[in-house]
Amino acid sequence: MNDAALVLNPYAKLVAERSGDSLAAVRVVAPIKGRHVTTTTFFRDDRRTVTEFLWGLVQGQPDLQPELDERELGDLVGAGLLVAPDAVPEMPRFSVPLAIAPEGEAALDESWMVHPDLRACSTQELPAVFAAGSVVQVPHLATRVSLPVWLDADTAAALTPGEAPRSLSPRQRSALRRAGVLVSAAEVAARRASSAELGVEPRARFAENAYWVVRGLIPGRFADALADHYRRVIAEGFMHFKDQITESVYSTRFVKHQEPVAVHVHGQLAALVSQIAGKPVKPSYAFVSSYEPGAELARHVDRAQCEYSLSLQVGYAPDRNLSEAWPIYLDTPAASQVPVSLRVGDALLYRGRQLPHYRYRLPEGHRSIHIFFHFVDQEFDAPLG
């Protein structure tokens, strides 16, 4: 190891643990590129030099030339605090670029207009992990779920909500149409004429069975962008890895609690979930989970913060169209072992505290990426996390 080349991992967090007035230990929590987030505790009683070096860092007095021996430096590399320059993790930035239409795609009719409820986002309201650019929120005409779309500055300048787009090529128009940015006057009129957003069936069926499948909750291109983002987040080491089945049902999977992109989407889903649940709900917490080959989910019910759980299928490998091959099972009041199969972009809303749910073993070579969006009743007053 070339010690001189080691640098501090900018994403490492240090937590001092005290015993009375004195330092007892320092915990290092760090993402490790190519692996996952690790937690290592150095106790002062048996690792005095290392803990004092770490204590200096906690106090903002980094001594980058401590008298650490090879073994101590190796332990700090193992903990993810010191890394070689080419192993410094990089936080991936999320974006959903417009898919430019293929050459020769039919030009759009001039009657398309910019979505009347399109809203430009200010930088302050977007998570730091969002890529730079002009971001607009586009509400889906049927579900009213708003999702972000990244535009270049010229395209953004050509768009005024409710009006025809200005000076865009047919291919740009076509891409904007596919992203839901351009809509037809007839679609908008049909939407406004419809008083019930989703119709009565979802609410009635959810009240009866305690679950409902929302097909096509998010478009495929958005799901693919999320899946690609989470694969990069995993590759850079920013997720935790759980590899044992415990009473809390963890299995072979990478997980991230309150991941910022998921948190952003979470806020857009409360209105839809409230409609299906038949009462106002609020987000509690979001959880990203990438199940790895061999993963299982033991039969369980969820905790109080998961009164309504919306499980979104974000990605599946090797073939995203195979995602239905790994169903979740629900034990409902009416029947046990009800399989629910989701395609990428579909979501299952279920009462996580009421319905036991589980999954059997994920085949070798398969990976399945999900976001769990949890909601509680508006009057819920316990901690949300």
Q: What is the x/- site pattern for Fe ion, positions 2-41, by CB under 5 A?
A: ----------------------------------------
> Please, which residues bridge with residue 37 across strands?
31
User: Judged by CB under 5 A, how many residues of this single chain contact Fe ion?
Assistant: 1
Closest approach, Cβ 372 to Fe ion, in A, equals: 7
Query: Of all residues in this chain, which one has the CB nearest to Fe ion in the complex?
Result: 302
Amino acid symbol at 248: S
> Please, which residues bridge with residue 292 across strands?
none
Closest approach, Cβ 281 to Fe ion, in A, equals: 17
Closest CA to 52 of 76, 74, 85, 29: 76
Closest approach, Cβ 233 to Fe ion, in A, equals: 22
Query: For residues 224 and 302, which CB has a smaller minimum distance to Fe ion in the complex?
Result: 302
Tell me if 75 contacts Fe ion by CB under 5 A.
no
Site for Fe ion in 276-335 (CB under 5 A): 302
Phi first, then psi: what are they for 348, rounded to 5°? Answer: -110, 120
Query: For residues 225 and 262, which CB has a smaller minimum distance to Fe ion in the complex?
Result: 262
Closest approach, Cβ 349 to Fe ion, in A, equals: 13
> Rg of the chain over CA atoms, in angstroms?
24
SS3 272: helix
Question: Would you call 272 exposed, middle or buried from its count of C-beta atoms within 10 A (0-12, 13-18, 19+)?
Answer: buried
- Cis peptide leading into 318, omega within 30 of 0? yes
Closest approach, Cβ 345 to Fe ion, in A, equals: 21
Site for Fe ion in 93-132 (CB under 5 A): none
Query: For residues 236 and 302, which CB has a smaller minimum distance to Fe ion in the complex?
Result: 302
> Please, which residues bridge with residue 368 across strands?
291, 316
Report the Cα 212 to chain-centroid distance in Å.
21
Report the Cα 217 to chain-centroid distance in Å.
15
Query: For residues 28 and 330, which CB has a smaller minimum distance to Fe ion in the complex?
Result: 330
Closest approach, Cβ 300 to Fe ion, in A, equals: 6
Residues forming contacts to Fe ion in the complex (CB under 5 A) are 302
